[in-house]
Amino acid sequence: MARSQLPLALLCLAASLGAQATGTGGRKMVGVYELRMGDFSVKVTNWGARLLSLVLPDSKGNLADVVLGKDTIAEYVAVRSGYSKGNATAYLVFEKAAAGYWEASANLAGGVLDGKVYHLQRNDGRNTLHGGGRGFRKIIWTVKEYMPYGDSPYITFYYRSFDGEQGFPGNLDAYVTYRLSSPYTLGVHMNATALDKPTPVNLLLHTYWNLGGHGSGDVLGHTLRLFASRYTVLDEDLLPSSGRIAPVAGTPLDFRAPTPIGARIRHVTGGKVVGYDANYVIDGEQERMRPVARVEDGVSGRAVELWANQATVQLYTGNWLNNTKGKDGKVYNQYAGFTLETMGYVDAVNHPEFPSQTVLPGQEYKHEMVFKLSF
């Protein structure tokens, strides 16, 4: 029950991709793992250390899976690695699920570190998005520990990134842990240690949420509160090229007071398609756990409160979803889900005015998220 079997052909395909990605020639298996506490459960996979589902009741006791996704790992594997924002058919959203490496939401094609220029694998025009064509979301992680039941079920994935992977310098040990606790709380812990060279690290969770249940329609009626008074001004490539940080006051980005996501979405400007794809600076002290956001769906009564220890959060409203095949025969259209991706400053490696995301050898990067669900 906890671990479903996947078709052999898929396992072989995935295993061979993994072997290439790790450069070890070792074979690893892709699996689906469940963590359960009564009527609260999640499924994750070591293919990209992804969150596949999160099930909980609503105020009437009806269970629903509140994250978007695909039915099989084969469909995640099949998602092409390139991005083309002008090409909705090629803009494949689910591959962005778990972890990006070197600048999350968007970044430049390379950077200067220790006086040396690094050229990264470009997968989004001139940019490296979500860690490159084969970022951490496209590799097979090792299941380090797995405790499916009990007071605090958890699973830990591990990956060693090699020097030069997608253009990034140095070997890096990375871990992602998913942990359930009472009541209806999901903790996600990511850490990484640079082994031999300084390297920028900016991992994120790209889960799409719909508190009414995935495939139940759009999230425009969800009420969002963001604990963020400022945002990083992004250019049309979603890069903070000006380095400018501006107040949200008086803009459609202002969610300091709880506001329906759809209330001002038509007034958001700058993107190639209408919707939110904005990077906020979270109020408060950067490395402390503090509230980031609270989202509530009045229809189901479900709510999620996110806490994290990161500097920024990307709000994305699934603007490019369009007739996208999802789980359980559902189809996802524009605004079918929202993401709240906590992370460090985007493209910090190219912006000395931003706090650094570079991890020196022996240093540790630590990213903690807590999702407190209720209904």
Ligand X SMILES: *[C@@H]1O[C@H](CO)[C@@H](O)[C@H](O)[C@H]1NC(C)=O
CB of 145 to ligand X, least distance (A): 7
> Does the annotation list 267 as a binding residue?
no
Specify the DSSP class assigned to residue 183.
Answer: T
How many residues sit in the footprint of ligand X (CB under 6 A)? 14
What is the x/- site pattern for ligand X, positions 307-326, by CB under 6 A? ---------------xx---
Q: Find the binding residues for ligand X in span 74-133 (CB under 6 A).
A: 84, 87-90
Stretch (H or E) spanning 73: helix 73-78
Active site residue 341: yes
Q: Among 179, 187, 131, which Cα is nearest to 159's?
A: 131
Q: How far apart are CA 284 and CA 290, in angstroms?
A: 7
Q: What is the CB neighbour count within 10 angstroms for residue 15?
A: 16
Active site residue 367: no
Select the residue whose beta carbon is closest to ligand X and give its number. 90
Q: Where are the alpha helices (DSSP H) in 126-213?
A: none
Which C-beta is closer to ligand X: that of 223 or that of 317? 317
CB of 39 to ligand X, least distance (A): 26
Tokens representing residue 38 in the block? 């009564």
Which C-beta is closer to ligand X: that of 53 or that of 317? 317
What is the x/- site pattern for ligand X, positions 339-368, by CB under 6 A? -------------------------x----
287 binds ligand X (CB under 6 A): no
Which C-beta is closer to ligand X: that of 271 or that of 301? 271
| 369 phi, psi to nearest 5 deg | -130, 140
374 binds ligand X (CB under 6 A): no
191 binds ligand X (CB under 6 A): yes
> Does the annotation list 24 as a binding residue?
no
CB of 50 to ligand X, least distance (A): 17
- Which SS3 state, helix, strand or coil, does residue 288 take? coil
CB of 366 to ligand X, least distance (A): 7
Which C-beta is closer to ligand X: that of 192 or that of 226? 192
Half-sphere exposure of 39 (CA within 13 A, CB side): 11
Angle, CA 12 vertex, CA 9 and CA 14 arms, to 5°: 110
Amino acid making up residue 112: V
> Does the annotation list 351 as a binding residue?
no
What lies within 8 Å, CB to CB, of 334 at 6+ separation is 218, 275, 318, 319, 320, 321, 322
Which C-beta is closer to ligand X: that of 205 or that of 346? 205
Q: Where do we find the tokens 């970044």? A: 107
What lies within 8 Å, CB to CB, of 295 at 6+ separation is 209, 211, 222, 223, 224, 225, 303, 304, 338, 340
Which C-beta is closer to ligand X: that of 19 or that of 79? 79
Q: How far apart are CA 102 and CA 160, in angstroms?
A: 15
Are the C-beta atoms of 55 and 40 separated by less than 8 Å?
Answer: yes
Torsion angle of alpha carbons 316, 133, 155, 199, nearest 10°?
Answer: -90
156 binds ligand X (CB under 6 A): yes
> Does the annotation list 214 as a binding residue?
no
CB of 267 to ligand X, least distance (A): 17
CB of 156 to ligand X, least distance (A): 5
177 binds ligand X (CB under 6 A): yes
Question: Which residue is catalytic, options 34, 95, 130, 206?
Answer: 206
Question: Which residue is catalytic, options 214, 341, 351, 367?
Answer: 341
CB-count exposure of residue 136 (10 Å: 0-12, 13-18, 19+):
buried
- Residues flagged as binding site for beta-D-galactose: 206-208, 277
- Which residues bind to ligand X, rule: CB under 6 A? 84, 87-90, 156, 175, 177, 191, 193, 322-323, 334, 364
Catalytically annotated residues: 206, 341
